[in-house]
């Protein structure tokens, strides 16, 4: 049995709101407010536990070492770690905040993953995303690559590529702009890459207000690296107008699972042609598109509620479950739309489950941002680091670990507290044992 496993990011001990992501409205609106790292991590774990209890294979990806003292040293801060942090707090508080972000929790941006059924060499391919558009995220990919290697550590089954060149021309945001369609997970699928700009085409349309983070050229490079069949790949440009309304990743306006694409009617440029290409690449078996009209759910409501940043999951009986954040329940147009879908027996969405992910949502990270999908055959599942798979036992262990190490309040001012780096390292040292990761962090080398 080949399954689609979800590997969620464990929220790190320095989770905070620093307003770092221009173009991401939640991040900007919550900049400067106090965060609760403990609650953030527990909310994430609760979603993992619930999905594992429903029978889904649920994995976990470790957080990063933050603050990133090595990066601060590269920027000229020197002396003891405490000195580096104190000086950075005084001279460049915004840079210290960037180097302290727990943003690796959004593992939809960790990498692009292609299952073995799609690749010419029959292995699972991983390319960590360079996340070059935001400084605080551009410092993730090296350790992300190490964590992925420690989690999928078997060269017979898994291929790990380095991130694409660190330049905006090859801006890559990983699985947040990548969707795979298939009949059964083990079948060859259609890989759908959504980009925001053509970096080498000066005449192409781009958003006017906010940055387009993903380039077409980055997506094309991933397709080559992953040895995908070009007939089974579809590219689409994200509608630049919706990027300007706060849709900074495709997974804020569209989500797919198996033979279903669920998206807003304004998600893509030339949307009808995109649908046609998908249908054609998919083949003759039925492919479903649930397109939400702006009249029912305006883009602003989609951005506020994160309706499309949901997880579409195939239940054992064949029905489809949609996992949404509680903000959907609080947005009347969205909630009534979801109720309609569930009541309508012809709709491919059958059941809704709501999760409180407020801590992550306040930074623009919903259920889909928190997970990296990895399709695994039975053998590949066995070759995966078993300590990184969630069951009730590991859930309890990880909750205890969070309760032991995490603070329940963190403000931007607290980032100047040099005790945080030691707290964080002590926590990660213990976590590497729990998850059997070896030495993935700079402080362990």
Q: Name the residues that contact ligand SUG, by CB under 6 A.
A: 17-21, 24, 27, 101, 103, 106, 108-109, 134, 137, 176, 248-249, 251-252, 363-365, 369
HEC letters along 146-171:
HHHHHHCCCCCCEEECCCCCCCHHHC
Phi, psi of 312 (to 5 degrees): -100, 120
- Over the Cα atoms of the chain, what is R_g? 21
CB of 365 to ligand SUG, least distance (A): 4
Residue 315: its H or E element: none
The yes-or-no answer on residue 182 being catalytic is no
Active-site residue identified among 125, 157, 249, 405? 249
Nearer to ligand SUG, 341 or 360 (CB): 360
**152's tokens:** 């999928």
Beta carbons within 8 Å of 115's beta carbon, 6+ residues apart: 2, 124, 180, 185, 189, 374, 375, 376
CA distance 161 to 218: 13
Active-site residue identified among 140, 173, 191, 327? 173
| Pair type for strands 254-257 and 124-128 | unpaired
The yes-or-no answer on residue 433 being catalytic is no
Q: What are the helix (H) ranges across 152-230?
A: 216-225
Nearer to ligand SUG, 83 or 409 (CB): 409
CB of 292 to ligand SUG, least distance (A): 18
Beta carbons within 8 Å of 58's beta carbon, 6+ residues apart: 5, 6, 7, 8, 48, 49, 51, 52, 389, 390
CB of 369 to ligand SUG, least distance (A): 3
Q: Strands, DSSP E only, in 10-92?
A: 58-61
Residue 107, preceding bond cis, omega within 30 degrees? Answer: no
Active-site residue identified among 369, 388, 405, 412? 369
Nearer to ligand SUG, 17 or 56 (CB): 17
**392's tokens:** 């009730």
Nearer to ligand SUG, 65 or 380 (CB): 65
CA distance 251 to 264: 11
CB of 251 to ligand SUG, least distance (A): 5
CB of 15 to ligand SUG, least distance (A): 9
Nearer to ligand SUG, 131 or 228 (CB): 131
Nearer to ligand SUG, 247 or 260 (CB): 247
The yes-or-no answer on residue 264 being catalytic is no
Phi, psi of 264 (to 5 degrees): -80, 150
Beta carbons within 8 Å of 299's beta carbon, 6+ residues apart: 242, 245, 246, 247, 253, 264, 266
Nearer to ligand SUG, 21 or 432 (CB): 21
Catalytic residues: 173, 249, 369
């Amino acid at each position: 049995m080949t399954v689609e496993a979800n590997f969620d990011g464990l929220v790190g001990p320095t989770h905070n709101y620093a307003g770092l992501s221009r173009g991401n409205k939640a991040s900007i609106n919550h900049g400067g407010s106090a965060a609760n790292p403990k609650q953030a991590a527990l909310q994430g774990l609760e979603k993992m536990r619930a999905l594992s209890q429903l029978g889904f294979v649920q994995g976990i990806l470790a957080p990063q070492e933050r603050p990133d003292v090595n990066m601060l040293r590269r920027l000229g801060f020197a002396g003891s770690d405490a000195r580096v942090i104190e000086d950075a707090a005084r001279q460049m508080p915004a840079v210290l905040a960037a180097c302290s972000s727990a943003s690796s929790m959004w593992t939809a941006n960790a990498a692009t993953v292609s299952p073995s059924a799609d690749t010419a060499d029959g292995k699972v391919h991983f390319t960590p995303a360079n996340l070059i558009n935001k400084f605080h995220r551009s410092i993730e990919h090296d350790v992300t690559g190490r964590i992925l290697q420690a989690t999928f550590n078997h060269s017979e089954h898994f291929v790990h590529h380095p991130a694409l060149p660190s330049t905006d021309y090859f801006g890559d945001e990983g699985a947040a702009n990548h969707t795979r369609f298939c009949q059964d997970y083990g079948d060859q699928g259609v890989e759908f890459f959504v980009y925001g700009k053509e970096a080498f085409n000066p005449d192409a349309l781009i958003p006017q207000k906010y940055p387009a983070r993903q380039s077409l050229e980055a997506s094309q490079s991933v397709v080559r690296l992953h040895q995908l069949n070009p007939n089974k790949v579809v590219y689409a440009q994200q509608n630049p107008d919706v990027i300007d309304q706060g849709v900074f990743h495709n997974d804020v306006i569209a989500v797919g699972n198996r033979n279903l694409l669920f998206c807003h009617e304004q998600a893509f440029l030339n949307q009808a042609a995109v649908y046609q290409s998908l249908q054609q690449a998919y083949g003759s078996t039925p492919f479903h598109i649930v397109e939400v009209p702006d009249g029912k759910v305006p883009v602003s409501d989609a951005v506020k509620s994160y309706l499309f940043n949901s997880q579409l999951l195939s239940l054992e009986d064949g029905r489809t479950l949609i996992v949404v954040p509680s903000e959907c329940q609080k947005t009347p147009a969205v909630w009534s739309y979801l109720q309609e879908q569930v009541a309508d027996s012809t709709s491919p969405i059958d059941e809704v489950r709501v999760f409180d992910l407020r801590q992550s949502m306040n930074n623009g990270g919903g259920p889909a941002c928190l997970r990296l999908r990895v399709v695994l055959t039975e053998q590949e599942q066995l070759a995966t680091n078993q300590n990184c798979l969630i069951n009730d036992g590991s859930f309890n262990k990880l909750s205890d670990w969070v309760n032991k190490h995490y603070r329940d309040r963190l403000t931007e001012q607290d980032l100047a507290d040099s005790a945080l780096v030691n707290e964080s390292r002590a926590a990660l040292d213990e976590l590497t044992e729990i998850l059997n990761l070896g030495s993935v962090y700079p402080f362990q080398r």
